Amino acid sequence: MNPIATRLDTIQEKSGLRGVEIAQLLKTTPETVSRWRNGHSEPKKASLEVLLQLEWLVGELAELYSPQEAKLWLFSHHKQLSGQRPVDRIEAGRLEDILTIIAQLKDSAFV
């Protein structure tokens, strides 16, 4: 298995996201993600950076939630995001906002 496929699998396992949802967050098509997974092409630099950030983000979520709960959390509206959903912020390239909230959740969970 290639390194990109491994990362995609990790994201799916820890977040419960489907391939089409991952493609949407990476601003690409499911077919492109499939080509990455099968080693027929590689993500461009910008997509790779978001992929790696998404892997980190779901890894952080996995410390707090099951995959099903993580997916629900990602698609729910949050007061801390002015009513937006985390997936909306991820699509807008604002993963830092999500990581900040996760850090706050982890701080309160482990106090």
pTM summary value:
0.90
Contacts of 55 (CB under 8 A, 6+ apart): 7, 10, 11
Q: Which residues of 14-47 are buried (b: 16+ CB within 10 A; e: fewer)?
A: bbbbeeebbbbbbebeeebbebbbeeeeebeeeb
- What is residue 1's predicted lDDT score, i.e. its pLDDT? 82
What digits encode the pLDDT tens for the residues 38-95? 999 999 999 999 999 999 999 999 999 999 999 999 999 999 999 999 999 999 989 9
- What is the spatial distance between Cα 12 and Cα 14, in angstroms, rounded to a whole number? 6
Q: Is the pLDDT of residue 111 over 80?
A: no
Contacts of 14 (CB under 8 A, 6+ apart): 58, 59, 61, 62, 67, 70
How many CA atoms, within 13 angstroms, populate the side-chain half-sphere of residue 32? 14
- What is residue 108's predicted lDDT score, i.e. its pLDDT? 85
